[in-house]
Structure 1
Amino acid sequence: MTRKWRKRFKRLLQRHNFTAIGVLLLSLLVYAVISTQGKTNLLTPQGLQQAVSDTGLWGILVYIAVITLAVVISPIPGAPLTVAAGAIWGAIPAGIYSVIGGFLGGLIAYFIGLTLGRSAVQALTGKAIYFSKARGEWLIGGFIFVTRLLPVLSFDLISYGAGLSGLSLPVYAPTTLLGMIPSTLLLTYMGQAFTIGLPLGIALSMVFLMLLVLLPWGIRRYNWLGLRDMIRVE
């Protein structure tokens, strides 16, 4: 075993990595059991709503598990499910459940990147991501906060990239958590607004969708906020 792999193995044995793996396995188990027994597609808003109706209070755990997996396994669509949760539980409860699931998924992805390295991340996402630490950790933390607040870049890629770059957990965790709360609540509010027809909620939803289109375009064309200098995705 090479020195590089010995170092990774020692990291893997650390308690926080075991915790992350345990949460991931629990989420996979919940997803597998509900999908098999209920014969519903939990990855669609309709399937999620049906699963919640069938499982009662356990539906909250099911939803948190699915949102956790949506971060770690990128093909799972997290945003539509978050909107659907707002329609099921209301904006605030759904926002709390979504933040818990998203934050757990972000931590798991961070520890995967930190422990298993770039080859594992490429196998999971099909992409390579590079962070520049030339301007210091807290600037990267600010960048993560912005991308959580306005989710113009993939949640999972940013989480994996933070781990790959060796960004410290005290910088990554609070910027992720604080940044994701407003955008998550907006998505759940969108779901609630569409069910009860609130004009303000629908208007905010349209503005949010426009930002998701315009911000990536501005970043690519004009390098807004200098984001292209800190991150590269291949």
Structure 2
Amino acid sequence: MRKFRKSPARLNTLFTLPNAIALAFLLLCALAGWWFSTQSGLNLSSVDAFVVSIQALGNWGIFAYIAFLVVAIVIGPIPSTPMTMAAGMVWGPVTAGIYGVVGLCLGSIAAYWIGRTLGRSAVKVLMGKSIHFSKHRGEIYLGWIVFVTHLLPVMPYDLVSYGAGISGLSFPIFALANLFGLIPNTLLLTHMGAAFTIGWPIAILLAVVFLSLFIVLPWGIKRHNWFGLRDTIHLE
């Protein structure tokens, strides 16, 4: 009898309004991902094809690009980095950087909210793996971890954002760390994309810088535990 009495309470904690909104948003993102790949007219097969298709949309291309970045973060593993570079070729590095920061920031906040609402099991089903942040050094330190992992190409934005939500990191701390971490990296990518339309020497220099960070940072974290990430971030 006790089991039957407890089950409605458990169902009430499962089927809450925040959970329903999070699930509805996930469904919307899944439908948007299907639309982007089949109906939107955006060609995601290559950077050049994406540039041509986004230009063909005119001003609507701005909204399509921002929405695409949101979906890329929430659903994953849709590659956003090549498209962020392509945006620099379309709108120029600064304007494309602003659009990119808006899209990536909104997507990261949505992932944080979904992780905090639906929890680790749902994220693991969605992403194929889960991430958890240890709070043993406090929330300010976790905020710096979010900032560093968004600033530098160490871990995907989606996983970090989901992990911050699962771990219950304070939203104001996450939002600030998320925003200020995204700005430099996004501008670097859009400048790399724009450099290909300006000249090869600048493009090669920026590519070397980006690839060096992409190779050196993961090695330093794995070998020497830079920033203490191995003690704080746990992948499952």
TM tier relative to shorter chain: 0.7 to 0.9
The Cα of 1:13 is off from its aligned counterpart by: 6.4
TM-score by length of 2: 0.87
Partners of 1:8 and 1:113 in 2: how far apart?
14
Q: Is the 8 A contact 2:33 2:71 kept in 1?
A: no
What residue is the counterpart of 2:12 in the other structure?
A: 6
| Unaligned 5+ runs, structure 1 | none
Going from structure 1 to structure 2, the CA distance change for 1:179 and 1:33 (only over 3 Å counts) comes to closer
1:134 aligns with 2:140: no
Q: What's the TM-score, normalizing by structure 1?
A: 0.88
**Number of residue pairs matched by the alignment:** 230
Which of 214, 230, 233 aligns to 1:231? It is: 233
Q: For residue 186 of structure 2, what is the amino acid of its counterpart?
A: T
CA–CA separation in structure 1 for the residues paired with 2:137 and 2:151: 21
Runs of 4+ with deviation above 6 angstroms: none
Q: Percent identity?
A: 50
> Could you list the runs of 5+ residues in structure 2 that have no partner in the other structure?
1-6
1:36 aligned to 2:36?
A: no
1:198: how far off?
5.8
1:162 aligns with 2:168: no
Q: Which of structures 1 and 2 has the bigger CA Rg?
A: 2
| Residue 65 (structure 1) aligns with | 67
CA distance in 2, matches of 1:212, 1:105: 22
Q: Deviations 1:71-101 (Å, cap 9, x if unpaired)?
A: 1122210101101111111100110111011
What is the CA deviation profile of residues 139-178 of structure 1, one whole-angstrom value per residue up to 9, with x for unaligned ones? Answer: 0000110111112111110000000001111110000000
The one-letter code of the counterpart of 1:6 is N
Residue of structure 2 equivalent to 1:99: 101
2:122 to 115, 120, 123: 120
Instruction: Give the deviation of 1:68 after TM superposition.
Output: 0.9
Q: What does residue 89 of structure 1 align with?
A: 91
Cα distance, 1:71–1:8 mapped onto 2, change above 3 Å = same
